[in-house]
Amino acid sequence: MESVTLYNDVKVPVLGIGTFMTSPEDTEQSVYAALKGGYRLIDTANAYLNEEAVGKALARAIEEGIVTREEVFVSTKLWPTLYETDGAVEKTLERLGLAWVDLLFIHQPAGNFIAGYRQLEQAYREGKARSLGISNMYGEKLERLLAAAQIKPHVVQLEAHPYCTEREYMRRMAEYGTKLMGWYPLGHGDAGLTAEPIFVKLGDKYRKSSAQIILRWHTQMGFITIPGSKNPDHIRDNFDIFDFRLTDEEMEEIARLDGTKKYYQADNQTEERYAAMHLPFEA
Ligand SMILES: NC(=O)c1ccc[n+]([C@@H]2O[C@H](COP(=O)([O-])OP(=O)(O)OC[C@H]3O[C@@H](n4cnc5c(N)ncnc54)[C@H](OP(=O)(O)O)[C@@H]3O)[C@@H](O)[C@H]2O)c1
C-alpha cells in the first residue's frame, strides 16, 4: 500500500474508508469488509455516532487475524461541544475500544477551538494520538490556530476532489509540511462528477470505472483519500486502483476542472450552530 509520510515520520495509507452518514450497522459491515479487502485506514468522528461500530469491526478483524492494531490507521474527530470537556479524548478512545488513535482532528472551527486543539496536543504528548489534524478551518481562524499551535497540524481534512484541490491553502500549509486528507473525494456520490468526459475516457483506456480513475488521481496528487461506501462492490473496486498510473498529460487534463465547484461552504452562523449542537451521548 502506498503511503504519505507526515512530518513526524508517521506513515498514513493513501487510501482508506470514510464513514460519514453511515449507521452503526452499516459502518460495522463496511469497515469489516474494507479491512478484509486490504484497507488499513478508517476515518470516523464523534459526530458520526459510529465510533463504537468502527471499534467493533476492527476488534473482529484483529480477533480473526486479518490485521493487527498497529497495521490499521484510525482517525477520528473531536466535536465542538466537547472542546472544553475534560476527558473528551479518553471517552472517544473508550467508544472506539482503543488505547490510541493514529490521527485526531478538531472537526470544526467552532466554539473554543483553541481549547479543543489543546486537548489534542495533550493527547499527542500522552501517546493517545500519533498525529493531529484540523478540519474545515479557513482564513482568520486558521491563522489563529496556527499561531497558537505548539504542535503544528500534521494533517488537514478539507473538501477535495477534481473540482476543488485547495492549491492555495496547501501552499500556505507547506511551511509546516501538513498533508491533505480530502473529504467528498467522489463528490459525495455526485453523478455529474463521475460522468465528466475525461473520467469516462480514461476509464475506457485503463478499464476502470470513473470512480477508480478519480481515486487514483487523488493518490497521485499526494492526497490521502477516504471514499465512503456501504456497497461491497464499491469498497472492493475503490481499493483496486494501484495497478495503473495516470500520465502527466492526463493529470494536467484533469487539472482543468480545478476551481469549478465546491459542494459545501461554511459560514460563521453554521459554525456557531455546531458549537451548540450536543451529541446524543453527551446527555
Ligand atoms: N471533516 C469533515 O467535515 C468531513 C465532511 C464530510 C466527509 N468527511 C469524511 O470523508 C469521507 C468521504 O466523504 P463522503 O463519504 O461523504 O463522500 P464520497 O466518498 O465523496 O462519496 C460517497 C458516495 O459515493 C458513492 N460511491 C463510493 N464508491 C463508489 C464507486 N466505486 N462507484 C460509484 N459510487 C461510489 C457512495 O455510495 P455507495 O455507498 O453506494 O458506494 C456514496 O454515496 C466521509 O465518509 C468522512 O469520513 C469528513
* For range 208-216, the mean pLDDT: 98
pLDDT score of 39 more than 90: yes
* pLDDT single digits (tens) 154-164: 999 999 999 99
| Residue 125 pLDDT greater than 90, yes or no | yes
Beta carbons of 31 and 66 less than 8 angstroms apart: no
What's the predicted TM-score (pTM) here?
A: 0.98
Mean pLDDT in residue range 146-157: 98
Active site residue 138: no
Residue with CA closest to ligand 1 atom 19: 227
Atom number of ligand 1 nearest to Cα 230: 39
79 CB contacts (<8 Å, ≥6 apart)? 45, 46, 47, 107, 108, 274, 277, 279
Euclidean distance between CA atoms 144 and 48, whole angstroms: 27
Q: What is the pLDDT of residue 235?
A: 98
Atom of ligand 1 at shortest range from CA of 77: 1
- Of the candidates 216, 96, 236, 97, the residue with the CA atom closest to the CA atom of residue 162: 216
Select which of 48, 163, 169, 184 is catalytic. 48
Q: Give nearest CA residue, ligand 1 atom 25.
A: 189
Query: Domains in the chain, start-ordered, CATH in brackets?
Result: 11-277 (3.20.20.100)
Other Cβ atoms closer than 10 A to 38: 15
Q: How much distance in Å is there from the Cα of 228 to the middle of ligand 1?
A: 3
Query: Residue 270 pLDDT more than 90?
Result: yes
> Would you state the pLDDT for residue 145?
98
Taking only the tens place, the pLDDT of each residue in 166-206 is 999 999 999 999 999 999 999 999 999 999 999 999 999 99
- State in Å: Cα 22 to ligand 1 middle: 10
pLDDT at 239 over 90: yes
Q: What percent of the chain has pLDDT over 90?
A: 98
Q: Could you tell me the distance, in angstroms and rounded to a whole number, from the CA of residue 30 to the centre of ligand 1? A: 12
Query: Nearest C-alpha to atom 40 of ligand 1 is from which residue?
Result: 231
Residues with CB under 6 A from ligand 1: 18-20, 43, 135-136, 157, 183-189, 209, 211, 226-231, 234, 237-238
What confidence tier does 1 reach under pLDDT thresholds 50, 70, 90?
Answer: confident
pLDDT at residue 138 tops 90: yes
Q: Stretch 236-254: mean pLDDT, rounded?
A: 98
**What is the model's pLDDT at position 234?**
98
Tell me the mean pLDDT in the region 114-120. 98
Q: How high is the pLDDT of residue 283?
A: 80
Beta strands in the chain (DSSP E): 3-5, 11-13, 17-18, 41-43, 73-78, 103-106, 132-135, 155-159, 179-183, 224-225
Sole residue written with cell 502527466: 248
Task: Tally Cβ neighbours within 10 Å of residue 7.
Answer: 14
| Atom 36, ligand 1: residue with shortest CA distance | 229
Please give the number of the atom of ligand 1 that sits closest to the Cα of 231. Answer: 41
Look over the chain and give the mean of its residue pLDDT values, rounded to a whole number: 98
Q: What is the pLDDT of residue 266?
A: 84
CA 139 to ligand 1 centroid distance, Å: 26
The Cβ of residue 32 has, within 10 Å, a number of other Cβ atoms equal to: 20
